[in-house]
Structures are given as structure tokens and as C-alpha cells.
């Protein structure tokens, strides 16, 4: 795993880890994965099931775990593994999905639009504002998946609650939804309850172990 680099200070708004229930709502908007057994060439216009790149994620990330469970091929990369989002990209992928470091969201959105692939990024709705961001939204388009409840992100032994929604590229949603600009999703109360008691994210357990 990561060792020394991982021990570098991990605090603030950039180190918040996403629970599974905040990822579940994405399922119906994605092209089907191989688990659905409905993969055909014509579904994708490509000869394989879709590949999702999670660019701010290690193998412990719930995004990586959940997408794999859904049958997607997942590529994950993280700055601690020497893969900086701003100068690394996999050779082949179809979607870019993650919860990014919020403090550099404008720079991230710029790179996402430049990469030109479909993306969904979990961000606070205040990210709708801003001169630079507005220029990009106008130029390239934006779709939103609004989550009805605050998400409790894992942060060390604690959690941090706040509102976030998925900021998506113009063609992110599959054909069933492609004429909608904003969709509203209900986070499942039972799933929230289940994860609430999972106090410590696996990532932090590993971190502490290496610190001992």
C-alpha cells in the first residue's frame, strides 16, 4: 500500500471519503455493465463493456468497489500512487467518476472538459456559481443529479455532513435520461443507517496500522 506518502497530513475538505449510498444513485444513469448480461456491441458502439476511471481513488475507495460490483471495468488512480490527475490519464476509458478534492474544483472541471469524456463529479451545489466555472458550463453544457439528503463523508474517525450533488458532462446520462438537465435522487434511508455505524473508513484503519 501507500506507506510514507499516505502518512502526509490528511485533513480538511480534500480528504473526505464517500459512503456507498452516495454512489448508488448513479446506477441507472450509466450504460449497463456486464453484470446485467445485456452487453451487446450496439449498446455502446464499442466492442466491450464500459470502463470507468476513478481519478482520485485508491483500491479502498467505495467508488472502485461499487462499480466493480456492478460489473464495470474500473481503473483507479490517486496522487499518492504517483498519478496526478493533471498529468495522468489511462489509455482507454469511457467515464470519469469520483468525489474530487473540492479546493481545486475549477481546475478539475477544466481538465475534465478538456479530456472530453463523460464525467460525474460529486460537488457542493455552490460550485454552480463562479465566473470561470460558468464560462465552462455555458460552453460545454452541464447536467445535474441532485441528492436529496446530506452525505456523511468519512474523515478519520469522524464524519462530516454536507450537501453535494453530481455535476455531469452533457452526455453523461444514458439514452433514457438524455433529454433531462436536472434529475432528483432520493438517498436510501436504510443504506444510510447501515453505513452510519461503520465509524472508520478502511483507508484510515490502514493508515493507522502503518503509523504504529
Ligand X SMILES: C[S@@+](CC[C@H](N)C(=O)[O-])C[C@H]1O[C@@H](n2cnc3c(N)ncnc32)[C@H](O)[C@@H]1O
Q: How far is the CB of 17 from ligand X (least distance, A)?
A: 4
105 part of the interface to ligand X, by CB under 6 A: no
Who contacts 212 (Cβ-Cβ below 8 Å, separation ≥6)? none
Closest CA relative to residue 132, chosen from 164, 101, 166, 109 = 109
Strand partners, 155: 158
56 part of the interface to ligand X, by CB under 6 A: yes
84 part of the interface to ligand X, by CB under 6 A: yes
Closer by beta carbon to ligand X, 13 or else 38: 13
* 47/89 Cα distance (integer angstroms): 21
Q: How far is the CB of 23 from ligand X (least distance, A)?
A: 8
Stretch that binds ligand X, among 42-50, 67-75, 80-88, 165-173 (CB under 6 A): 80-88
**Among 85, 113, 166, 172, which residue sits at the site for ligand X (rule: CB under 6 A)?**
85
98 part of the interface to ligand X, by CB under 6 A: yes
Sign of the torsion formed by the C-alpha atoms of 51, 52, 56 and 59:
negative
86 part of the interface to ligand X, by CB under 6 A: yes
Q: At what angle do helices 131-140 and 105-115 cross, to 10 degrees?
A: 20
103 part of the interface to ligand X, by CB under 6 A: no
53 part of the interface to ligand X, by CB under 6 A: no
* 151/146 Cα distance (integer angstroms): 12
* 98/53 Cα distance (integer angstroms): 8
132 part of the interface to ligand X, by CB under 6 A: no
Binding residues for ligand X (CB under 6 A): 14-18, 55-57, 61-63, 78-79, 84-86, 98-101
Amino acid at each position: 500500500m501507500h506507506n510514507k506518502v499516505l502518512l502526509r497530513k490528511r485533513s480538511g475538505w480534500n480528504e473526505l471519503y464517500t459512503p456507498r449510498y452516495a454512489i448508488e444513485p448513479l446506477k441507472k444513469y450509466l450504460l449497463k455493465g456486464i453484470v446485467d448480461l445485456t452487453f451487446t456491441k450496439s449498446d455502446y458502439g464499442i466492442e466491450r463493456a464500459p470502463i470507468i476511471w476513478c481519478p482520485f481513488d485508491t483500491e479502498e475507495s467505495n467508488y472502485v468497489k461499487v462499480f466493480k460490483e456492478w460489473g464495470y471495468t474500473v481503473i483507479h488512480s490517486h496522487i499518492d500512487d504517483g498519478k496526478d490527475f493533471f498529468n495522468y490519464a489511462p489509455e482507454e476509458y469511457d467515464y470519469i467518476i469520483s468525489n474530487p478534492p473540492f479546493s481545486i474544483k475549477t481546475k478539475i472541471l477544466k481538465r475534465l472538459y478538456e479530456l472530453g469524456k463523460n464525467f460525474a463529479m460529486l460537488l457542493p451545489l455552490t460550485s454552480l456559481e463562479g465566473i470561470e466555472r460558468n464560462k465552462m458550463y455555458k460552453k460545454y453544457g452541464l447536467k445535474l443529479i441532485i441528492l436529496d439528503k446530506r452525505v456523511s463523508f468519512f474523515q478519520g474517525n469522524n464524519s462530516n455532513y454536507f450537501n453535494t450533488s453530481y455535476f455531469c458532462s452533457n452526455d453523461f446520462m444514458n439514452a433514457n435520461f438524455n433529454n433531462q438537465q436536472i434529475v432528483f435522487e432520493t438517498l436510501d434511508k436504510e443504506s444510510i443507517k447501515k453505513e452510519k455505524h461503520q465509524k472508520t473508513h478502511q483507508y484510515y484503519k490502514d493508515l493507522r496500522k502503518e503509523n504504529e
